[in-house]
Structure 1
Amino acid sequence: MNQMTTTPTPAVTVEQSAGQADEPSELSLTARLDALQRLVDLGTGRIDPVLLSDASALLTRAGERLRLSGEHTVVTLAGGTGSGKSSLFNAVCGLNLSPTGMRRPMTSKAHACVWGLSGAGPLLDWLQVDKRHRYARAGALGPDDPQGEESGSLQGLVLIDLPDHDSIAEVHRAEVDRFVTVADLLVWVVDPQKYADAALHRNYIVPFARHADVTLVVLNQIDRLQPSEVDECVSDLRRLLEAEGLADPRIVTTSTVTEGGVDAFRRVLVETVAARRARAQRLVADIDRLAARFAEHYSAAEPPTMLDERRAAELVDALADAAGAPAVAEAMESAYELRAVDYVGWPIARMVSRLRSDPLRKMRLTELREELRGAFTGPVGAQQGDVDYALHGLTDEVTRELPPEWAHSVRAASRSRAAELPEALGEALKGALPVFNQVPRWWWLVKTWQYFLVLVTGATLLWILLLLLYGVLGVSDDPPGLIGDAGLIPYVTVLLACVLGMGALTSSACRNVVALSSARHGERMEAHMRERIAEVAEEKVLYPIADELRAYAGFRAEAERLLNASRK
């Protein structure tokens, strides 16, 4: 018989609400899938891309499988040549659906037998089972079918007979590998002679050792053994499986040529189908397998959340030096003193100094702010090499106990915006420069006082001149007493000296005050520039580092939660 669409007997209905039996597993599975998705999101661009690709593939496969029928359980029969898996498949189905024989290979395509057609079509399409090799069992074959009662208990089973895993045809091995990754229950059929086959154990048992809950090993053809040899063979097989990491392996014995030889295997299938948990258990096993691989990408040490204050302060100091903030503050301090001279200096002394060449006057202090602002644009504000030096070794302490790939990602985050720093530092210094048309109020008071003294000085000089003209030279016969009495000249001269002295003394005293004020002004300017530089450091360096450390902390928490769940 090459193909069978359905048997004549009516389908058997299992009265059970969808998902009822596997609800606890589904809830646990959902949480694991969410955790796995977060691990993929957090690990993208940071950890092993092969692992992330495998995890993404699992998430895609899980989403597809969960959208398909939950009433059907996919069970694959896999084994080597001559193990009798096709005979076992036919025995369970009650019909000769899959070709049997000893030649290599006998089964070249996957054959599927389905108990219960409703919802099975999309599932078989997803499994990529050729429609020519799909068979359906709607229930018992008839009143004389010896397996009719058990057959009806398998409602929801999708039993698949695979090609030989040790086939000489590569396409057959690829077919086995594909189904091994999607089956809800993996059934490995072995025979007494080749149950220790190295290819089976190396390629499938060991890699899928964490899938013990969804793995069943069938020791077939026990009719070839003496009764006393069966237990010995099972014990040796169990020892071998446990040594390869398959915890508490499930093993059943079968014989397709003896009466009741497959009853134990059929009971396992009935229990599996009835429980409706194999789908969730398989996906959980796949996730647990990945969880162990994710565990290699985080350390046991508690992850830091940010750079410590000392390192952050050192970074600001280094960036301030790179941007030349101390030099700018010193220049602004000098500019403050020079500008103060225009207000608190003795005007007569300034007029005298203008008769000499003074290079400081050529600085055009009224335009100093604009000139300084123009100096801090683009890379002129800070050289890229100085910025790179400031970032060197910044993350050494926080990455010391991180896994290599995460340490690399944190270091990369610290430099991710390094190219933006020179211009940003220049803008920060520009924004920190003061407005030169804002001067202290007391400067204006002193300037008013100084010009009053200048006015008095001028008036006194005029008085002395009039005394000389009228009191000494006698240019007038009857001058007023205040300008005609030559005896007043010494007193007026003393008054002139006092005024000049008061002006000079006021200028000297104010210069001392200005010197102290300029020092404080320079300190305030440097502190203000450092505040602006600290903001740049936070935005361009510290925040990216903190984001990366938070990503690692989240990754570590999710990976630990996933790994702890797999150990329970």
Structure 2
Amino acid sequence: MTQEVDDRWADGLIARRAAEPGEMTSPREEGAEPQDDATFEPIGGPYVGEVRGRLDALRELVGLSRTRLDSTALAEAGRVLDEASARQRLSARHTVVAVAGATGSGKSTLFNSLAGSQISDTGLRRPTTGAPIACSWTDGAAGLLDRLGIPGRLRRRPLDNAGVDLEGLVLVDLPDLDSALVSHRQAADRVLALVDAIVWVVDPEKYADAVLHERYLRPLAGHAEVSFVVLNQVDRLPGDAADQVLDDLRRLLDEDGMALGEHGEPGASVLSLSALTGQGVGELREQLGRFVQERGAAARRLAADVDAAAVELRPLYVADGRPGLGERARRDFADRLGEAVGASAAGEAAEREWRRNAQRACGTPWLRLWRWYDRIRVPALQRPRSDAQVEEQVTARQRVEQAVRTVADEAAAGLPAPWAQAVREAAVRGADGLPEALDELAVREELERGTSPRPRWWPAAVLAQMVMTGVQIVGGLWLLGQIVGVLTPGLIVPALVMLGGIVGGPLIEWACAVAARGPGRRYGQEAERRLREAAAACGRAKVLDPVAAELLRYREVREQYAAVVGAGKR
């Protein structure tokens, strides 16, 4: 066991250097194995409950979106959830703070000054720090350091008198952010994504460096509450130059979008110091001590990570305007399907059929006989199909497709691209086979309608036509008998009787046609209404309901996204 302890906390060459004359006092010997956090404490802080709720909402959001969004779009959110779960399982008594900076900024010197011993190498050779080095003020941080990937040979302890006020602090010295070695930069980036807080160390020469601001400070501006920005090496600045540089640094941070913790407001702490002379190091130590004792850094870091993930996901969930299927869009879609299925034409055909039936029943027998002869002379099945009918079918299919595209575009208007695409795909899938279904519907409606009914006055009209026909026959026979000499001559009376029958028949037919207009129109309108309603129901089942389901799913994820963003940030 002792050997394992030595391997984990051995100082190696760096520890031996620390004992050399002229150097700072060596770190305390680690004779006992650091104990893991025996009593687990959940991550605390003033808003841990809110963070937990937002993480749960983010987890639900990712689950609801996996079938609609590309996995790369959800990669950052998944990483945040994984890292949050990993951090919540580890010690809540410790706060992991990284010391980050560019080459020559003096971050390792500041790291050693806070630890009270020469732990991290300093010097003119670049890069000096090749791998992250950790210094833990209390036991139980092994799990956190394992998560950071810091081996036992690079784990240190400060001096016994390095400050009880920093109890619970785990300080990590990172490789240079602008190191010429890619592996060093990658190691620094990996640890920066996992720590609870960051101390950004800048120097008077490179405090405005574009790499630092564009690659790190600006993307992490939302992490201001867990950030300390330190202007180091102020001992090199004459007079009030340090204040001028510090003011310019604040200006640059403001341009980066990083809130500054001034006048009691939450934000980054900005201060100046000299790690070499110790000027201002005590103030940083006090701020770190208060920060660590609050035990809220981990929760704040998680909240900032969720904020960053929410900002990245915003284009995928926030719509422009109020998308959806309004009543007008539904009504227009039903009207378009009614036109495509030929509801108006069907109504007009039903009205004509009603009036034809009226004409057949109320017409003269001679006219009905001629129409019967015409029907048997050229059967309907042998009549050639006109090109207009074929063109009408093609046009109807195009109308259905146009109606589906229109309603899909209206429903998807303003939606984020992935959800708009999902809505259109749902409409296209539903439209598959819709023209055929509407054709079958039209045929079924026509068969169910059958022969148009007849009003109760039609038998009287038929009887009147029979009477008129009888009058014609009587008048004709009477006139014929006079002509052949069988009856007493008197052409005027039989001619008038025959003329009355001839004129009376068409008059009765005309009166019946006038009387049938109103019922025929109502019959046609009812047939059109039934066909329109049937077409609308078919379109609703095949297109509108799947589209509405996609919109409902979007509203669910939108509500989850609002929960991820949190109150007051939507």
Indicate how the Cα distance of structure 1 residues 77 and 173 shifts in structure 2: closer, same or farther if over 3 A, else same.
same
Query: Which deviations, in whole Å up to 9, do the C-alpha atoms of 1:215-266 show, x marking residues without a partner?
Result: 1112334444567554444334333323433221412444444468643333
Equivalents in 2 of 1:89, 1:246: separation in Å?
24
Indicate how the Cα distance of structure 1 residues 345 and 123 shifts in structure 2: closer, same or farther if over 3 A, else same.
farther
Indicate how the Cα distance of structure 1 residues 407 and 161 shifts in structure 2: closer, same or farther if over 3 A, else same.
closer
Amino acid at match of 1:163: P
Map of 1:210 onto structure 2? 222
Map of 1:18 onto structure 2? 41
Equivalents in 1 of 2:378, 2:361: separation in Å?
15
Indicate how the Cα distance of structure 1 residues 443 and 501 shifts in structure 2: closer, same or farther if over 3 A, else same.
farther
SS where residue 389 of structure 1 aligns?
helix
State the shift of 1:293 in Å.
Answer: 5.0
Indicate how the Cα distance of structure 1 residues 384 and 96 shifts in structure 2: closer, same or farther if over 3 A, else same.
farther
Contact 1:184 1:279 in 2 (8 A): yes
Map of 1:319 onto structure 2? 337
State the shift of 1:527 in Å.
Answer: 0.4
Equivalents in 2 of 1:202, 1:352: separation in Å?
94
Amino acid at match of 2:147: W
Contact 1:46 1:409 in 2 (8 A): no
Does 1:358 pair with 2:381? no
SS where residue 386 of structure 1 aligns?
helix
Equivalents in 2 of 1:567, 1:407: separation in Å?
22
State the shift of 1:184 in Å.
Answer: 1.2
State the shift of 1:74 in Å.
Answer: 2.0
Amino acid at match of 1:185: A
Indicate how the Cα distance of structure 1 residues 110 and 431 shifts in structure 2: closer, same or farther if over 3 A, else same.
farther
Indicate how the Cα distance of structure 1 residues 353 and 220 shifts in structure 2: closer, same or farther if over 3 A, else same.
closer
Indicate how the Cα distance of structure 1 residues 424 and 276 shifts in structure 2: closer, same or farther if over 3 A, else same.
farther
Moved more, 214-223 or 276-285: 214-223
Does 1:328 pair with 2:346? yes
Contact 1:382 1:426 in 2 (8 A): no
Equivalents in 1 of 2:57, 2:395: separation in Å?
44
Query: Which deviations, in whole Å up to 9, do the C-alpha atoms of 1:356-383 show, x marking residues without a partner?
Result: 342599459xxxxxxxxxx99xx96974
Query: Which deviations, in whole Å up to 9, do the C-alpha atoms of 1:269-292 show, x marking residues without a partner?
Result: 322221111111112223333445
SS where residue 9 of structure 2 aligns?
coil
Indicate how the Cα distance of structure 1 residues 361 and 72 shifts in structure 2: closer, same or farther if over 3 A, else same.
farther
Indicate how the Cα distance of structure 1 residues 133 and 265 shifts in structure 2: closer, same or farther if over 3 A, else same.
farther
Q: How does 1:136-175 map to 2 (within 5 A)?
A: 137=157, 145-147=160-162, 149-150=164-165, 153-155=166-168, 157-175=169-187
Does 1:113 pair with 2:115? no
TM-score, normalization by structure 2: 0.70
Q: How does 1:268-347 map to 2 (within 5 A)?
A: 268-292=287-311, 303=322, 305-309=324-328, 311-334=329-352
SS where residue 134 of structure 2 aligns?
strand
State the shift of 1:531 in Å.
Answer: 0.6
TM-score, normalization by structure 1: 0.70
Equivalents in 2 of 1:12, 1:407: separation in Å?
50
SS where residue 125 of structure 2 aligns?
coil
Q: Percent identical across equivalent pairs?
A: 35
Within the candidate set 207, 212, 226, 1:200 is matched to: 212
Map of 1:387 onto structure 2? 400
Map of 2:111 onto structure 1? 89
SS where residue 100 of structure 2 aligns?
strand
Amino acid at match of 1:147: A
Q: For the aligned residues, what is the CA RMSD?
A: 5.3
Amino acid at match of 2:325: M
Amino acid at match of 1:72: H
Does 1:123 pair with 2:131? no
Amino acid at match of 1:274: Q
Contact 2:442 2:531 in 1 (8 A): yes
Contact 2:354 2:520 in 1 (8 A): yes
Q: How does 1:310-459 map to 2 (within 5 A)?
A: 311-334=329-352, 354=372, 356-359=373-376, 362-363=379-380, 383-391=396-404, 393-394=406-407, 402=414, 405=417, 409=421, 412=424, 415-416=427-428, 417-435=430-448, 440=453, 446=459
Contact 1:187 1:215 in 2 (8 A): yes
Contact 1:382 1:422 in 2 (8 A): no
Amino acid at match of 2:9: M
Query: Which deviations, in whole Å up to 9, do the C-alpha atoms of 1:109-155 show, x marking residues without a partner?
Result: 2222334443x44433333x142445254xx85xxx332634xx422
Amino acid at match of 2:95: T
Moved more, 325-334 or 158-167: 325-334
State the shift of 1:76 in Å.
Answer: 1.0
Equivalents in 1 of 2:548, 2:401: separation in Å?
19
Equivalents in 2 of 1:315, 1:259: separation in Å?
76
Contact 1:382 1:423 in 2 (8 A): no
State the shift of 1:165 in Å.
Answer: 0.5
Query: Which deviations, in whole Å up to 9, do the C-alpha atoms of 1:324-369 show, x marking residues without a partner?
Result: 2233334444555667899888999867865x342599459xxxxx
Amino acid at match of 1:288: D
State the shift of 1:166 in Å.
Answer: 0.7
SS where residue 187 of structure 1 aligns?
strand
Map of 1:251 onto structure 2? 270
SS where residue 281 of structure 1 aligns?
helix
Within the candidate set 520, 523, 538, 1:521 is matched to: 523
Q: In structure 2, list runs of 5 or more residues that go unmatched.
A: 1-5, 11-28, 261-267, 382-388, 475-499
Contact 1:343 1:444 in 2 (8 A): no
Q: In structure 1, list runs of 5 or more residues that go unmatched.
A: 365-374, 462-497
